[in-house]
Amino acid sequence: MTRASGSAYGWVIVAAGALMTCISMGAMFSLAVFLQPMSVDTGWSRTGISTAMTIAFVAMAVASFLWGALSDRFGPRLVMLCGTILLGLGLVLASRAANVIEFQLLFGLFMGAAAGAFYVPAITLASAWFERNRSLAVALVSAGTGMAPLTVAPFARWLIDAYTWRPAMLIVGIAATGLLLLPAALLMRRPSVVLKVAPSAPRVSTPVPAIAAEPSLSVAEALRTPQFVALALAHFACCAAHSGPIFHMVSFAIGCGIPVMAAVSVYSLAGVSGLGGRLLLGVLADRMGAKPVLVGGLMVQAMGAGAYVFVRELGELYALSIVFGIAYGGVMPLYAILARDYFGMRIMGTVFGAISAVASLGMAFGPWVGGWVFDTQASYTWLYIGSFTVGLAAVAVALTFKPRPAAPRDVGVQFPTLNQTLPSKP
């Protein structure tokens, strides 16, 4: 059984998927860059503007499941084209919002729904194109999200300085949609599988290794399995543990007496480290298996979150941001690998979409809790203690995941190989 078009096109899928996740997530998270100039220009509160991001996370949670199911049914290309249209509409319409509630709904609902249309289908498609190097391929697609703060956000900042925030948001929407996302979406297609049969081959029966059959679970059955529950809860706890420290990283550094630009560089270094972590843990997962690498990465993430209680100097923050970034960035693609291996390709989009939906709720939870802790305690200490505790819970849940048993290496029955003809009927 081989990929009809060869594995080379799989890397095209990986490159296009990484680009689309980078642009879509970068456009959504660029709201952090628009926050201050929007507040000054319109008089809207920062809390009101930031609420649009909370709405976007909730919308992305719902959309991830729906887009995953539609991708299984109709293919990823149609889903990504729909997401491209929604992203463009969201930015264009939000740039014309007359009041903060209108902005919250237009940006939050459209951008959240659009973001969910790229990550899950792109991850699912990449996992379908590869048998070997699957973890690396998925990690590279996921790495697009790590590049988001380093690409769209600086471009948006430059546009704001040149044209003010409304034209800047309009230009980002048009450029992202027409120049990048639309061409990339047209490249996306499922792999075809062909069976090689040589008509002139001798009719010789030889033993072959057993190939594990694809699971035959329905979506309803899959969502009730302990494996789904373990992956969804571990992903939720993982995101809840790191989203608060990430979101409040700059504010914490400034509170430690670090200059503003240096504090921003701490955040940027964590993002770059997350990109490296995706590649590093992806390679390790191909060699050691996804579960042990996931458990190890979650443990390092929990320890890193707790370590923020003890650091105050810039050098310490840089070192911790590298370790923490590698851990939280590296574990993210591994949930898709475990879901693909256990549930198979047929319902992968739906199942991983459901897992991502639960994880998105965890992402929405962390920043809000961090803000509440600081407003009530005038300190982030309990945020980091809580993140450490939740991170350990993610480790404990991940340990309960039981992979599918491996197929026996030899079934002891004589079968013709795939490149030989089958014996004729008597």
Secondary element (H or E) of residue 181: none
Check residue 318 and give its pLDDT: 94
Cα 228–Cα 216–Cα 194 angle in degrees, nearest 5 = 120
Secondary structure of 408-424 in HEC code, one letter for each residue = CCCCCCEECCCCCCCCC
**Complete domains list, the chain, with CATH:** 9-190 (1.20.1250.20), 216-402 (1.20.1250.20)
| pLDDT at position 54 | 80
Q: Please give the pLDDT value at position 231.
A: 94
- Tell me how far apart the alpha carbons of residues 283 and 123 are, in angstroms, rounded to a whole number: 16
Q: How far is CA 343 from CA 1, 226, 230, in A?
A: 20, 12, 13
SS (H, E, C) 51-96: HHHHHHHHHHHHHHHHHHHHHHHHCHHHHHHHHHHHHHHHHHHHCC
326-to-3, 15, 126, 127, 318 alpha-carbon distances in Å: 33, 21, 22, 22, 12
The pLDDT tens digits of the residues spanning 224-277 come to 899 999 999 999 999 999 988 887 787 788 889 988 778 778 877 887 888 888
pLDDT of residue 214: 61
* Structure tokens that stand for 190 in this block: 């499922």
Q: Which residues of the chain have pLDDT under 50?
A: 1-6, 194-212, 408-426
Which residues does residue 3 pair with via DSSP β-bridges, in sequence order? 193
The pair of three-digit structure tokens given for residue 345, joined into one six-digit string: 């390709």
For 45, 67, 159, 169, 333, the CA distances from 37, given in Å and listed in that order, are 11, 33, 12, 12, 34
